[in-house]
Structure 1
Amino acid sequence: MLTDSSRAADFPSLKGIHYLNTAAESIPPLCVNEAVAEYMQHKSFGMRGRDFHFPRVEECREITAKHLGLNTDEVSFCSCSSEAYNLLANALDLKPQHEVVVTDLDFPAGATPWLTAPEHSRPVSRLWRSRDGALNLVDLASLLNERTKLVQVSLVSFYNGHRIPYAKLRDMVRLLAPNAVLAVDVTQALGRVVLDCQDADILISSTHKWTLGIHGGGVIGIPQKSAARLTTKAGGWYHLSNAFDADRFENARIKPGALSFSVGMPSFAALYALNASLRYLDQIGVAKIAAHADPLVARVHEGLRELGIAPLCSAQPDNPSGIVAFRHENTTKINEALLAQNIHVMHQVGRIRIALHGYNTMEDVEKLLAALRSAL
């Protein structure tokens, strides 16, 4: 992943292209393809396949816990981050007198469950607005109080790559909103940046971006200190300790904390894939990936400014992420010019987002900047 030889061996589909869109979809290494093929082989055994499926889930739990800095019984899985946030809403059971803080740099999955609750039980939603592409803690302070029950943030914003100063955020929330759950979406960080938010009340991530996995998985991490408070009340079976006991139709005993978020049969294919991809990343080391890719991100920031383009979030040399984004009136034409040279970025009308992982190179960056210079 970090050398020409390993990149060619592990990511053959990258040959001839400059892929700068991992924040949307990653390119899985070959070991993930092999893991999914192994799942299909085990699935073909029918019921006997479960003798392999469930041990893979536990292996995946083990390596995921290592990446999150948690114990294995503090980690669980569901189908996607959206399901995780809806289960979190179920666990919190918020009321109209309660308040929730979300940010305008968050992904909808974490920001909307509090808006869709029935009107008679909907909490007050307070929006922490960014300024110049960054979230300023001074603006957060006035939103926090004893009625705040949830502060929801993304460690790295999907929108522009802003990475929140977690330690300062945590300290402020604990001081000014002592009753609040601190929830952190690490989808745009897990597998790319060294996490510093292990003591949040809940960590949530998807599995098909920087972790190099596939669709169909959601990661939940809840430390033991928050388990009792964050146990869902949803129906199901896999999260019950008495799912097949004699009293199962009279009393549902739900496993605490993260384990309560796995309400049904695991998405085995996604977890086979995640087990393989996280072990691949662990073998390399996320710190090494960041050390390799952060200078590429810095060069993109520098190159954009040379072209007279202001990134949506200024470079953060002390708190970097893998994402750079910018606005321009001609993004559609710019994207067409990039695609003509096999340069792949995320394009939405008016905005282009660039994402750099461990399989990217300085050649990718210089190709991008040269193509932008030509297009402009």
Structure 2
Amino acid sequence: MLDSITRERDFPALAGEAYLNTAAEGIPPRQVHEAVGEYLRDKSLGMNGRDGHFRRAERCREVAARMVGLGPAEVAFCSCASEAYNLLHAALAPREGDEVVVSDLDFPAGVTPWLVSRTPTRLWTQRDGALHVEDLERLLGPRTLLVQVSLVSFWNGHRIDWAAVHDAVRRRAPDAVLAVDVTQALGRVPTLCPGADVVISSTHKWALGLHGGCVVGIAAARAERLTPRAGGWYHVENAFEADRFERAALKRGAAAFAVGMPSFAAIYALDAGLRYLEDVGVARIAAHADPLVARLDAALRERGHVPMAPLVPSRMSGIVAFRTPDAARLHACLERERIRVMHHAGRIRLAVHGSNTADDVERFIATLAAVHPAAA
């Protein structure tokens, strides 16, 4: 991943591409392709293949737990982050007087369940592209039921000061649940969010997996409180017992978030993707990719494009985003040069993973200079 030999061997789809869009879609390495083939071979055995499915799910649980800093019993899988957040809503069951704190740098999946249920929501608002903990502290209090944050913002790449956020919530709202979306960090940021009550991540971005999967981590100390009262069967202890039509005995904590048959194809892929990243080393990935992010940030500023989030060397992420009035034209030029970035809502978002090279970054900078010669 970090050198030309392994990059060409493991990511043949990147030949000729400057792929700077992992924050939208990760490119699966060869090992993930092979794992999906293994899933299909097991699936072709019919029900006899289920032993392989469940073994792979347990393997995946083990590596996912290591990556998010929890124990295997504290981790489960569901279909997507949106499902996970709706189940979290069902677990917390807000009552009159409860408040939820969210930020304006969060992805909609972590926010909309509370808006739909009309739970009073307090908004932690960015200033100059960053979230400041002193602003969060003013929103916290005895009525705070949940604080929902993203470790790295999908919108502009801002990475919160996790230690300061954790300290503020525990001091100002000690009974509140602290939930973190790590979708834009898992597989890219070496240390995630120790001490979080809830950790949620999609699997098709930096984790190098497929759609249809989501990692859910629930701290054991919060298992009783964070058990969704939701229908299904896989999370029901007595689903096939004699009393199954009289009561539903739910599993507790993370296990209660896996309400139906696991999405095994996504789990096989995630297991391979996370093990690939673990073998390479997320710290090594960050050491390789963070300087490329800094190069993009500096080049944008030199050309008069102010990134949407400040660069904080101690809290780097893989994302740089900026606005430009001719974003659509710039995006079209980049596409012609096979430079893949995200163009959405008037912004250009760049994402740098371990499979990226200095040449990828320089190709982007050269194209930007050609489109905006006066600024260059």
Question: Does the Cα contact within 8 Å between 1:227 and 1:257 map onto a contact in 2?
Answer: yes
Q: How many matched pairs? A: 372
Q: How does 1:360-375 map to 2 (within 5 A)?
A: 360-375=356-371
- Residue 35 of structure 1 is matched in structure 2 by 35
Residue 139 (str. 1) matches residue 140 (str. 2) = no
The answer to whether the 8 A contact 2:68-2:192 is kept is: no
- The correspondence for 1:130, drawn from 94, 112, 126, is 126
- After superposition, residues 102-117 of structure 1 pair within 5 angstroms as 102-117=102-117
Corresponding position of 1:331: 327
Aligned counterpart for 1:253 among listed residues 241, 246, 249 = 249
- SS of structure 2 residue aligned to 1:114: helix
Equivalent residue number for residue 319 of structure 1: 315
Aligned partner of 2:161 among 150, 159, 165: 165
Letter in structure 1 aligned against 2:24: A
TM-score by length of 1: 0.98
Structure 1 residues 115-173: Cα deviation after superposition (integer angstroms, max 9, x where no partner)? 111xxxx3211111101000011111111110000000000000000000001001101
Letter aligned with residue 84 of structure 2: A
In structure 1, the residue matched to 2:288 is: 292
- Local SS of the residue matching 1:318: helix
Question: Counterpart in 2 of 1:310?
Answer: 306
Q: Following the alignment from structure 2 to structure 1, what is the Cα–Cα distance between the partners of residues 299 and 310? A: 13
Counterpart-to-counterpart distance in 2, 1:209 and 1:348: 17
Which of 189, 200, 203 matches 2:199? 203
Task: Name the SS of the counterpart of 2:180 in structure 1.
Answer: strand
Is the contact between residue 63 and residue 275 of structure 1 (CA under 8 Å) also seen in structure 2?
A: yes
Match of 1:72 in 2: 72
AA aligned to 2:49 is: G
Report 1:201-240 matches (<5 A): 201-240=197-236
Cα distance, 1:49 vs. partner?
1.1
User: Alignment partner of 2:140: what SS?
Assistant: coil
Query: Within 1, Cα distance between the matches of 2:192 and 2:30?
Result: 29
Residue 266 (1) aligns with residue 278 (2)? no
In 1, are the aligned partners of 2:151 and 2:192 still within 8 Å (CA)? Answer: no
Identity %: 60
How far is 1:96 from its partner? 2.8
Per the TM alignment, residue 349 of structure 1 is displaced from its structure 2 partner at its CA by 4.3
Aligned counterparts of 1:79 and 1:348: Cα–Cα separation in 2: 25
1:195-224 residue CA offsets vs partner (Å, 9 max, x unmatched): 241310000000000000000001100111
Distance of 1:215 and 1:347 partners within structure 2: 20
Contact map agreement 1:323 1:353 (CA 8 A) in 2: yes
Tell whether 2:277 aligns with 1:281.
yes
Question: d(CA) in 2 for partners of 1:97 and 1:354?
Answer: 41
Shift, 1:34, TM fit: 0.8
Q: What is the match of residue 21 of structure 2?
A: 21
RMSD over aligned CA atoms reads 0.8
Instruction: For residue 175 of structure 1, report the CA deviation from its aligned partner.
Output: 0.7
Conserved in 2, the CA contact under 8 Å of 1:331 and 1:349?
A: no
2:180 to 162, 167, 184: 184
Corresponding residue of 1:52: 52
Q: Say if 1:77 and 1:218, in contact at 8 Å, map to a contact too.
A: yes
Note the residue ranges of structure 1 that are not aligned, 5 or more in a row: none
Give the whole-Å Cα distance in 1 for the aligned partners of 2:138 and 2:13: 49
- Superposed structure 1 runs of 4+ greater than 2 Å apart: none
Tell me which amino acid in the other structure corresponds to 1:34: E
Q: Matches of 2:169 and 2:281 in 1, distance apart? A: 31
AA in 2 matched with 1:280: Y
Partner residue in 2 for 1:101: 101
Per mean C-alpha deviation after superposition, the further-off stretch among 331-340 and 241-250 is 241-250
Q: Does the residue aligned with 1:126 lie in a helix, a strand or coil?
A: strand
